[in-house]
Amino acid sequence: MDKVKGFRDIFPEDMEVRERVFSESDRWAIAFGFKRIDFPSVEFLDLYKLKSGEELVGQSFSFKDKNGRDITLIPEATPTVSRMLASRKELPKPVKWYSIGKFWRYEDPQSGRQREFYQFNADIFGPNSAEADAEVIMLATKILDGLGLESKYEMRVNSRKLMQKLLENLGVKEPVRAFQIIDRFRKITVDDFVEEISPLLAGSSDVAMLVDILSKPVNPDKLSKLSSSRKDLFSGAEDEIARISRTVRDCSSVTKSRVLIDFSVIRGLTYYTGIVFEAFDAMGESRSILGGGRYDGLMSLLSGESIPAVGFAMGDVTLELTMRKNNTWNVPVKKPSIYLCKAPDAEDPELPGIAMQIRYRGISCSTDLYSRSLASQLRDASRAGCGYALIRGAREIKERKISVKNLGSGNQRSIGLDSLNEFLDIIVSLVV
Amino acid sequence: MDKVKGFRDIFPEDMEVRERVFSESDRWAIAFGFKRIDFPSVEFLDLYKLKSGEELVGQSFSFKDKNGRDITLIPEATPTVSRMLASRKELPKPVKWYSIGKFWRYEDPQSGRQREFYQFNADIFGPNSAEADAEVIMLATKILDGLGLESKYEMRVNSRKLMQKLLENLGVKEPVRAFQIIDRFRKITVDDFVEEISPLLAGSSDVAMLVDILSKPVNPDKLSKLSSSRKDLFSGAEDEIARISRTVRDCSSVTKSRVLIDFSVIRGLTYYTGIVFEAFDAMGESRSILGGGRYDGLMSLLSGESIPAVGFAMGDVTLELTMRKNNTWNVPVKKPSIYLCKAPDAEDPELPGIAMQIRYRGISCSTDLYSRSLASQLRDASRAGCGYALIRGAREIKERKISVKNLGSGNQRSIGLDSLNEFLDIIVSLVV
């Protein structure tokens, strides 16, 4: 029996790392004062029309429900989270929500793309400020840093408002169309880009100027110098430049990873209105590890009330590729585990209680489920990577004792059942 | 914009409790030596036909994919988990897997039913033993106990093998049909039950006998007495009675909750072959909180290889109802949180770093994102339930200090930035 194409079976060795990713995301979201929410995996397709952009609606995993209405497995979180906020207008702002869930897109599966994937999302509703922009980028940064990627990635930041001004200064009449083309700048050849963008610009010198500025990420401390030297491009964007500089400065102060201005970062979704950002592998992979931005117009589309918002999303597929490349797709600290062996020939009514005594201490404890020989049980214990086997044979049962075998050294000694907790104290202290 | 009927928006106050349920499940599964897996949310509908029973296939949230194939949002985990194991035949047994994920059924939403719900699943593949049966029931028991439900529920255990023998002794020719009717014993009136079951039995005295035995849960220590006094019913089931008694004895030794034999517990799914069990609210709600059993035949249907298996599933919907009824739907320990206030009129480049210093300690820290007055920030801090506000005003910035305000008592004092970590030590120690 096959599974459906583009969907993944996740076995324990991979799930363990994925859980580390979730718990690191969780830990930092809570540290930044975000609260976790969850939402339906299915929404009416209409929620995404006009709001997410054509590409996403075309890729949605949609179908008709039994009443003939178009519904879809959710392709992204933002419209749903906005819908949820619209139903709780009374909540004091800022509202800071995060979520960890599954999303679906009907794309052809390939490296870095699956039809089903996990995504972490975090959003701040209420404030429209450089501090709020910085907070979501800092959260993104600290999650990646916490996963062992510090200085292995670059956070590339831009502003749609800034880009709008820049395109205006270049005489572009269709900024939305230009954004779509710029969004593909790093995915297509320069020649193809020039061919696509040229009809929107006055002349080839403007095209060359745009290609030049898109090609070169700028260190944040150089931004104000660049903007004053290129007034032809940046005139009228002074406030936005000051704001983005402030955001980038704050973010840079909390991480060793580089935070850059990159004018080619524009994001595919149509609803962004201010800052946009993406994290990339510092070694130059083209697909972003995470991305987000400010979307101050979406809430009024959904609820009639204007509420500024900024957020980001991080999927597990590109993240896994990046972590594997950097040898951080692993679980650094192994939890302790004990195998509790029993004599195959002796009744031991105390055994379940002893196993529970171990488990109550947060130690993983397995017992034999087959009535196998002691030798097989010890082989099982070693194969499972247990540090110790505890043995309850006929003699131990009679003497109210338990034998402790160090599976590394092979040493074995016998302790009274009353001393078990002291032994467990040591096991627990060894791994903290 | 509406959400789809039967799907839930989960806001932070409820999500927090749900996370406690997940982490308690997680903690105990690991303690028992289970490993977490995950799997697709979508499978071919064929996977469930013949394996799960008609009712479940009829209730499945199925649709046609873009190639016209019948696919479905998964209604339960067992067929998928079995499919996964079939693809990893080389794994040494026992294989002990658990999962926490979402499932879907196209039912009419009502109290205790949603179209989308969370479910915890745990299964042991390999051993066919009383110890394996006991282990999954003990795991289920310890999760419920850990959620504050100890002695608030009853674990009701039965065996399909035993019931098959009992029905055979009563002369029933169609045990599968009889199981379907017995499965509804607690959901319909006795009169309706009698009407449905009578055609399968020889006479009204047999019907009365069956109703009698289904109505009365038996304390495990009474089972052997009952079976020897009622040889007409239990003849030939001696081995199974000894085995189930052993399982129940082990389970009873690790919990204060009652573990009973209940002959009316039969489970709806067709694939169960041995022990079956369900946990019920001790105060007498009719819907089970969790349920499971042994299904030794499913793996050979799926993969041609016979692998014994036992497991259970626990959904969040009935669990929430039960926990609410018992006033345990809450989060006992609140995590510490600090609000870091800043002077609205002063530049403080150190602020992001101070916030991070707090967050690195695992303490939730929020800062102002609006450039609001100190008074508004303090109001925010109180509303958010923060124990302390830390204040960086113009004076503190100049003197490299920070003011600490206890939001409970209103007391405020000033400490050097160098002493911040010592203060945070105290905060952390207060809540551990």
Measured CA to CA, the distance from residue B78 to residue B337 in angstroms comes to: 41
The predicted structure's pLDDT at residue B154: 96
- For A366, the closest chain B residue by CA position comes to B33
pLDDT value for A16: 94
Q: How many angstroms away from the CA of B84 is the closest CA of chain A? A: 7
- Residue ranges of B 390-429 with Cβ closer than 8 A to chain A: none
| C-alpha to C-alpha distance for A97 and A30, rounded to whole angstroms | 10
- Provide, as residue numbers in chain A, all residues whose Cβ is less than 8 Å from the Cβ of B102: 41, 102
Chain B positions in Cβ-Cβ contact with residue A249 (cut-off 8 Å)? 349
Q: What is the pLDDT of residue A97?
A: 98
- Option in A15, A132, A367 nearest B37 (CB): A15
Cis amide leading into B217 (omega within 30): no
Lowest-pLDDT choice from A52-61, A382-391, B81-90, B181-190: A52-61
Instruction: Name the residue among A161, A217, A149 with its Cα closest to residue A186.
Output: A217
Residue B424 contacts residue B363 (beta carbons within 8 Å): yes
- Give the pLDDT confidence score for residue A320 in this predicted structure: 95
User: Would you state the pLDDT for residue A53?
Assistant: 65
Look at A104 and B2 and tell me if their CB atoms are within 8 Å: no
Q: Do A1 and B250 count as a contact with CB atoms less than 8 A apart? A: no
Task: Please determine, for residue B277, whether its predicted confidence score (pLDDT) is greater than 90.
Answer: yes
Q: How far is CA A278 from the centre of its chain?
A: 12
- Show the CA angle centred on residue B16, arms to residues B11 and B17, nearest 5°: 110
Q: A73 at the B interface (CB within 8 A)?
A: yes
Helix (H, G, I), strand (E, B) or coil at A134: helix
B431 lies within 8 A of chain A by CB? no
In degrees, rounded to 5, the angle at the alpha carbon of residue A305 between the alpha carbons of residues A304 and A310 is: 115
The dihedral formed by the CA atoms of B164, B166, B169 and B172, expressed in degrees to the nearest 10: -60
Residues of A in contact with B368 (CB under 8 A): 131
- Lookup: tokens for A62: 């949609």
Q: With CB atoms and an 8 Å threshold, state whether B96 touches A366.
A: yes
With an 8 Å Cβ cutoff, are B4 and A131 in contact? no
- Chain B residue with minimum CA distance to A383: B92
For A336, which residue in chain B has the nearest alpha carbon? B31
CB contact under 8 A, A19 and B8: no
Angle at A393 between CA A388 and CA A394, to 5 degrees: 165
Contact: B12, A2; criterion CB under 8 Å: no
Contacts of A84 in chain B (CB under 8 A): 9, 11
Strands of the sheet containing A412-416, edge to edge, are: A364-367, A337-342, A388-392, A401-406, A412-416
Q: Which residues of B18-28 are buried (b: 16+ CB within 10 A; e: fewer)?
A: bbbbeebbbeb
Cα distance between residue B291 and residue A171, in whole Å: 67
H/E stretch holding A190 reads helix A190-197
Using CB atoms within 10 Å of the CB of residue A161, give its burial: 0 to 12 exposed, 13 to 18 middle, 19+ buried: buried
Mean pLDDT over each residue of chain B, to the nearest integer? 92
User: Between vectors from CA B240 to CA B238 and to CA B245, what angle results, nearest 5°?
Assistant: 95
pLDDT score for B162: 95
Digit-coded pLDDT (tens) for A91-135: 999 999 999 999 999 887 777 778 999 999 999 999 999 999 999
Does residue A359 belong to the interface with chain B, where contact is any CB pair within 8 Å? yes
The pLDDT of residue A77:
95
Joined tokens for residue B250: 């082990």
CA atoms within 13 A on the CB side of B107: 16
Matching residue, tokens 């540290």: A31
Q: What is the pLDDT of residues A403-414, one digit of tens each?
A: 999 998 999 999
- Residue count of chain A, please give it: 432
Cα separations in angstroms, A387 against A210, A307, B402:
61, 55, 47
Q: Mark which residues 43-62 of B lie under 8 Å from A by CB.
A: 43-44, 46-47
> Which of B36, B305, B369, B380 to probe the A interface (max A CBs under 10 A)?
B369
DSSP A6-72: T---B-HHHHHHHHHHHHHHHHHHHHTT-EE-B--SEEEGGGTTTTT-HHHHHT-EEEE-TTS-EEE
A251 CB neighbours in chain B (<8 A) are: 352
Write the CA distances from B405 to A3, B341, B415, integer angstroms: 57, 10, 11
Q: What is the mean pLDDT of residues B190-201?
A: 94
Q: Dihedral sign for Cα A257, A259, A263, A265, please.
A: positive
Phi and psi (nearest 5°) for A230?
Answer: -120, 60
Q: Using CB atoms, pick whichever of B38, B43, B83 lies closest to residue A15.
A: B38
DSSP-assigned beta bridge partners for residue B366: B339
**Cβ contact B40–A16 (<8 Å):** no
What would the two tokens of residue A1 be? 């029996």
Task: Flag whether residue A385 sits within 8 Å of chain B, measured between CB atoms.
Answer: no
CB atoms A43 and B3 under 8 Å? yes
**What is B337-431's CATH number?**
3.40.50.800
So what's the pLDDT on residue A430? 78
Encode pLDDT of B324-368 as tens digits: 999 999 988 778 899 999 988 788 989 999 999 999 999 999 999
Cα(A57)–Cα(A50) distance, integer angstroms: 9
- Confirm or reject contact between B346 and chain A (CB < 8 A): no
Indicate the burial class of B228 (C-beta count within 10 angstroms; 0-12, 13-18, 19 or more): exposed
B352/A253 Cβ within 8 A: yes
Is the CB of residue A158 less than 8 Å from the CB of residue A213?
A: no
Q: Which of A3, A102, A138 sits opposite B43 (nearest CB)?
A: A3
Domain extent listing, chain B: 12-325, 337-431
Burial of A322 (0-12, 13-18, 19+ CB in 10 A): buried
Cα-to-chain-centroid distance, residue B75: 15
pLDDT for position B53:
65
pLDDT of the residue at A431: 65
3-state secondary structure of A351: helix
Interval A73-96: pLDDT, tens? 999 999 999 999 999 989 999 999
Mean pLDDT computed over B199-224: 91
Rounded to the nearest angstrom, the minimum Cα separation between B237 and chain A is 22
CB of B374 within 8 A of CB of B327? no
Question: Which residues of chain A have a CB within 8 Å of the CB of B32?
Answer: 359, 364-366
Question: pLDDT digit string (tens) for A8-58?
Answer: 999 999 999 999 999 999 999 999 999 999 999 999 998 888 666 666 777
Strand A290-294 versus strand A275-281 pairing type: antiparallel
Cis upstream peptide for A344 (omega within 30°): no
Q: What is the pLDDT of residue B106?
A: 87
**Residue A373 pairs with which residues in a beta bridge?**
none
Q: Is the pLDDT reported for residue B383 higher than 80?
A: yes
B54 falls in which pLDDT band (50, 70, 90)?
low
pLDDT over 80 at A426, yes or no: yes
- Given this model, what pLDDT does residue A52 score? 65
Exposed, middle or buried, B258 (CB in 10 Å: 0-12/13-18/19+)? middle
- The percentage of residues in chain A with a pLDDT greater than 70, rounded to a whole number, is 97
User: Can you tell me the mean pLDDT for A231-239?
Assistant: 92
Choose the CATH number for A12-325 among 3.50.50.60, 3.40.190.10, 3.40.50.1370, 3.30.930.10: 3.30.930.10
B4–A40 C-beta distance less than 8 A: yes
Please check whether residue B137 is in contact with residue B145, taking contact to mean a CB–CB distance below 8 angstroms. no
Question: What's the CA gap between B97 and B34, in Å, rounded?
Answer: 5
